[in-house]
Amino acid sequence: MSESAKKVFAALIAGGAASRPSLGTLTDLSKQTVSLAVQELETAGLAEKITSQQGPMGRAAVIYDVGRRSGWLLGIDLGSTHVRVAASTLAGVLIAEREHMIAGAPNQANAILGDAAGTIVRAFIEELEPDHGPLRSVCVALSRSVPELRDWQGADLPGGDLPQIIAQIGVPRAIPVYAENNVNCAALGEARHGGARGEHDLAYLQVGVGLGAGIIIGGHLLRGAAGQGGELRKLPVSGLFTPGPAPRNAQHELRAAGLIERYNEARGTEGGADADSSEEVFRRAEAGLSAAQQAVLEEAAGVGHLAAALVAIASPSLIILGGGIGGSARLLPLVRRFLEDQGIDVRVTSGELGSSATVAGAAALAAELHLEHMLGASATAALSGYESRWSIG
């Protein structure tokens, strides 16, 4: 693709439908150069005429937009009990999103759903390609750190079992497949399509089946060495200044299983039986049961401790709480109060996208990597408008 065509295509992605004169203004290209670039894009199926617009002098201006069959991006979220897939256009607009619950899947953080995902992904591709053109790029969100942000297609690549997982998903070999940590994807999803749009420095703190943080600094994911930035699960949350057994880490104490364990150990006869879910602990706290209320207060203090660590290390302007526990409406004000009591000034809110944040971020990352490869230096201009809301239409 010529450099002028890249500039024009980037302008269409960032600003939407436009006439040739408008594209010339946006790209600072001459009328003739824009005409040649548009012709090149039309021939490649990347742009198409959508309508004519009557001008002030009585002459109709032809309006162009990104081609409806120019291709699409795929985000895949391999969760603890589900596979969620989402397709978006090259301009970042949601085409379709589906969630498939996997019978018999272990309710724990894992990425061992590759075979199930393969059937789902192949059917999704067959469904969308007739109307939206070829699949261009894929990103898989995994409940683990990913050592490199690269195309993992091909079993000859290093990376433990990652190439095997990618192969099980069954995306055609010619299409690049990237992988990223699921919490990093959730942070990116909220930044590009959710409640953190326009924010350049933020952290997404997820507490649920597992625990982790996705950190965005200056608009870019903070991946760290071997992709392990934001692994707050390793932080000790007790016993720092007291002798005795080695302190347990945040993952053990604050994930759903840890909250349930702490409550059941302390409840005595409260509630008549052990709680079997974190939701049950929160329900008992809402009902005024004292041991449950104490367990929830401890959970809020632990999450607040992690939020304080994020502020000290990364100085985000916003912290988003997500996950089955982090997204609890009861937890949010308690965490805010903890931080206020500590004199820590940071905005803390719940995510806007809920369980869709991870797959939205995976699709956004697939798009960013594809556009960078496709447009080179012009990708920055394309991505400048890449902040649409995550909703169909």
What local confidence, expressed as pLDDT, does residue 80 receive?
73
In three state form, how does the secondary structure of the chain look? CCHHHHHHHHHHHHHCCEEHHHHHHHHCCCHHHHHHHHHHHHHCCCEEEEEEEECCCCCEEEEEEECCCCCEEEEEEECCCEEEEEEEECCCCEEEEEEEECCCCCCCCCCCCHHHHHHHHHHHHHHHHHHHCCEEEEEEEECCCCCCCCCCCCCCCCCCCHHHHHHHHCCCCCCCEEEEEHHHHHHHHHHHHCCCCCCCCEEEEEECCCEEEEEEECCEECCCHHHCCCCHHHCECCCCCCCCCCCCEHHHHHCHHHHHHHHHHHCCCCCCCCCCCHHHHHHHHHCCCHHHHHHHHHHHHHHHHHHHHHHHHHCCCEEEEEHHHHCCCCHHHHHHHHHHHCCCCCEEEECCCHHHHHHHHHHHHHHHHHHHHHHHHHHHHHHCCCCCCCCCC
CB atoms within 10 A of CB 123: 13
What local confidence, expressed as pLDDT, does residue 109 receive?
54
295 phi, psi to nearest 5 deg: -65, -40
Distance, CA of 273 to CA of 164 (rounded, Å): 43
Whether 121 and 85 have beta carbons less than 8 Å apart is answered as yes
Whether 363 and 85 have beta carbons less than 8 Å apart is answered as no
Cα radius of gyration rounded to whole Å, the chain: 24
Do the domains 197-351 and 72-189+356-383 match in fold? yes
Architecture of domain 3-66: Orthogonal Bundle (1.10)
Question: For the domain 72-189+356-383, what is the CATH superfamily, name and number?
Answer: ATPase, nucleotide binding domain (3.30.420.40)
What local confidence, expressed as pLDDT, does residue 171 receive?
92
Per-residue pLDDT of the chain (393 residues; tens, 9 = 90+): 999 999 999 999 998 899 999 999 999 999 999 999 999 999 999 999 988 665 555 566 899 999 999 999 999 998 877 899 999 999 888 999 999 888 766 655 555 676 778 889 999 999 999 999 999 999 999 988 888 888 988 756 665 778 888 888 889 989 999 999 999 999 999 998 888 988 999 999 999 888 899 999 998 899 988 888 888 877 876 654 555 566 678 888 899 999 999 999 999 999 999 999 999 999 999 999 999 999 999 999 999 999 999 999 999 999 999 998 998 889 999 999 999 999 999 999 999 999 899 999 999 999 999 999 999 999 988 887 766 667 654
197-351 to CATH, choices 3.40.50.1110, 3.30.70.260, 3.30.420.40, 3.40.50.2300 = 3.30.420.40
Question: What is the domain partition of the chain in residue ranges?
Answer: 3-66, 72-189+356-383, 197-351
What local confidence, expressed as pLDDT, does residue 156 receive?
66
Compute the half-sphere exposure of residue 75: CA atoms within 13 Å on the CB side of its CA. 39
